Amino acid sequence: MTNDVVGASGITKKYGTTTALDDVSLSVRRGSVYGLVGPNGAGKTTLLGILAGLRRPTKGEFTVDARRVAVLPDAPKFDPWMKAREVVDLSFNLALPGGDPAAVDAVLARTGLLQVAHRRVGGFSRGMLQRLGLAAAVVGDPDLLLLDEPAAALDPAGRREVLDMVSDLRGDSTVIFSSHILDDVEAVCDEIGILNRGQLIYEGTLEDLIRGSSHLPSYCVVVRGSSDGLVALLQRCEWVADVSAAGSTVIVTAASSAVIEQELVPCVANSDAAIVSIAPVERSLEDVFLEVTQ
Amino acid sequence: MTLWRLELVRLFRTHRIWILFGVFALFGALGPLTARFLPEIVEAVGGGVEIAVPPPSPELAMAGYLGNALQIGILAIAFVAAAALAFDSRPEMAVYLRTRASIPQILAPRYVVNMLASVVSFVIGTTIAYVGSAILIGAPLLGGTVTATLLLSVYLVFVVALTGFAASLVRSIPGTALITVGVLIVIGIIGLIPQVDAWLPSSLVGSFDALIAGGGFDYWGPLAVTIILSMGSIAASIALMERREA
């Protein structure tokens, strides 16, 4: 058993003249949670479909070293006359024939569906169907779990529960998690891959992505009262690349972290502004994502 | 829940089984009734005009049953089987199934349950027609009825197999059912060529009246062709669905 559950090399997928995936190579470590992010139409669902064996690449090779693979589509639907327990039970029996059936109720309880387990799924909301899809996916104890926008239709509490479930799977299962919601990816993923127009433009840890981005370091200075004097002073400093102000908040940008860390505090101390706080501007995944995909 | 139980549950919860039973049972009852009371019916609606109708006979009762039951029954079988076999029509459900079971595992219960439901419905309809005829007119030839029922059952199995093959060509349920009915019509048209007709599955339908009337068994050729075509349709549907992307 290798350390990588998924290894893909040069995957290209074309639909007629449209290229959905273009020479994508990626590897996913066993037991990790891998976030697949990208704008609409980037190729995330196509890539998950290929890894699940539901689609064939036009070119390229991939290996999936997992006995049980479960997939949760972005908008799961089931035959409307099936009851929720039957959906999970069927999934359990197909994945783990002869297993302990108590697992079915345990997963239904975990996903908040135990009270409605006897109901037909035809009347379920999209959020309930998403929970049911997740229950059906995890009940079979998958080695590899492919989740396509698993929290997209859920309310904030439901989203939190799904993210907690995904976090809990870390170590036991390998999870590939596609999402538009970058906060979710930031919250649970060990590594991410950014897909844009069918190309994987980044693969690695979030920390490396944010650290390695081309943006200049910025600090946020909050003053009491007017910031005009401080802004005028900063604009005269040669090491300052940019200054912007909104009320009592001033954002200062410099060419490098070393310069701003050395120069900012003495400069602010020389002004007559009453300082409330000075802090580096943390860059979010969203900032970096927008930067690399534009 | 297993894939086999899923198919049984599908038939009952969607009430499709009652459509199949209902069609064949209804015509099973109407066939002998119509045959027995046809002279009275014609006289009542004839307005004094004398119309010659054949006298009631068991053969007429069974022929009346089969003629009506097969037309509507095959349509019903094609749509009911298509709803189960065209499982790619609902892509999300297809993903659920395809990532958990192989295509033969998915299709086997769908084929078998729908074939059984079709045959059992037909047998129930034939039994009602036989008993009705025996009570109202006279008992049809038992041996011929049993043999003809077996041959027609093979034909209905072929209809379900053909529906599965159609489901591997298109994804939609109505499309699958319409292709099935279209192919059966084409087979009927090809059957207008006498040299070919004796070998086609459609000639099993023609066996019904002949066998009940006491005719000899001369259907090994179409029986073999129907079985081969059924097996070929099933094998082709598995191969095509395995190649199809979800």
In the prediction, which pLDDT does B231 show? Answer: 97
B90 and chain A: CB distance < 8 Å anywhere? Answer: yes
- Are the beta carbons of B71 and B23 closer than 8 angstroms? no
Sheet strands (E) in A67-141: 69-72
Cα(A30)–Cα(B55) distance, integer angstroms: 81
Mean pLDDT, rounded, of chain A? 87
Residue A8 lies in a domain: yes
In the prediction, which pLDDT does B134 show? Answer: 93
pLDDT of A18 over the 80 cut? yes
Last residue of a domain, one of A158, A192, A211: A211
Strand ordering across the sheet containing A59-64: A18-29, A4-15, A59-64
Residues A206 and A261 in one domain: no
Residues of A in contact with B1 (CB under 8 A): 86, 89-90, 93
Instruction: Please indicate whether, in this complex, the C-beta atoms of A55 and B246 are within 8 angstroms of each other.
Output: yes
In the prediction, which pLDDT does B158 show? Answer: 97
Instruction: Provide the token pair at A53.
Output: 């064996």
Residues A69 and A162 in one domain: yes
Residues A236 and A121 in one domain: no
Residues A199 and A262 in one domain: no
Q: Tell me, what DSSP letter sits at residue A283?
A: P
Residue A289 lies in a domain: no
In the prediction, which pLDDT does B239 show? Answer: 96
Indicate the pLDDT class of residue A41, thresholds 50, 70 and 90.
Answer: confident
Each residue's pLDDT tens digit, A115-143: 999 999 998 988 889 899 999 999 988 99
Residue A293 lies in a domain: no
B99 and chain A: CB distance < 8 Å anywhere? Answer: yes
pTM of structure = 0.83
Q: Which of A171-185, A215-229, A254-268, B224-238 has the highest mean pLDDT?
A: B224-238
pLDDT of A45 over the 70 cut? yes
Q: How many domains does chain A have?
A: 2
From the CA of B233, how many Å to the nearest CA of chain A?
23
Average pLDDT, integer, range A206-234: 81
Each residue's pLDDT tens digit, A47-58: 999 999 999 999
pLDDT of A75 over the 90 cut? no
B12 and chain A: CB distance < 8 Å anywhere? Answer: no
Residues A153 and A279 in one domain: no
Instruction: Provide the token pair at A60.
Output: 């390229």
In the prediction, which pLDDT does B219 show? Answer: 83
Higher pLDDT, B208 or A86: A86
Residues A277 and A157 in one domain: no
Residue A76 lies in a domain: yes
Which segments of chain B have a pLDDT < 50? none
- CA separation (Å) from A93 to A125, A184, B62? 25, 31, 46
From the CA of A116, how many Å to the nearest CA of chain B?
17
Last residue of a domain, one of A193, A211, A229: A211
Indicate the pLDDT class of residue A215, thresholds 50, 70 and 90.
Answer: low
Range of the domain at A260: 218-283
In the prediction, which pLDDT does B31 show? Answer: 92
CATH number for the domain that contains residue A246: 3.30.70
From the CA of A195, how many Å to the nearest CA of chain B?
22
Last residue of a domain, one of A157, A177, A211: A211
Instruction: Provide the token pair at B191.
Output: 């059957």
Instruction: Provide the token pair at A18.
Output: 């449209």
CATH number for the domain that contains residue A116: 3.40.50.300
In the prediction, which pLDDT does B45 show? Answer: 75
Average pLDDT, integer, range A281-291: 73
Sheet strands (E) in chain A: 4-15, 18-29, 33-37, 59-64, 69-72, 144-148, 174-179, 191-196, 199-205, 218-224, 240-246, 249-254, 274-280
Indicate the pLDDT class of residue A60, thresholds 50, 70 and 90.
Answer: very high
Residue A179 lies in a domain: yes
Residues A184 and A225 in one domain: no
pLDDT of A1 over the 60 cut? no
In the prediction, which pLDDT does B154 show? Answer: 96
Residue A294 lies in a domain: no
Residues A250 and A229 in one domain: yes
Q: Which of A37-41, A163-167, B182-186 has the highest mean pLDDT?
A: B182-186
Residues A14 and A52 in one domain: yes
Residues A204 and A268 in one domain: no
Residue A82 lies in a domain: yes
Residues A30 and A171 in one domain: yes
Cα(A20)–Cα(A41) distance, integer angstroms: 8
| B contact test, residue of A48, A72, A74, A79 with most B CBs within 10 A | A79
Cα(A286)–Cα(A186) distance, integer angstroms: 9
Residues A225 and A185 in one domain: no
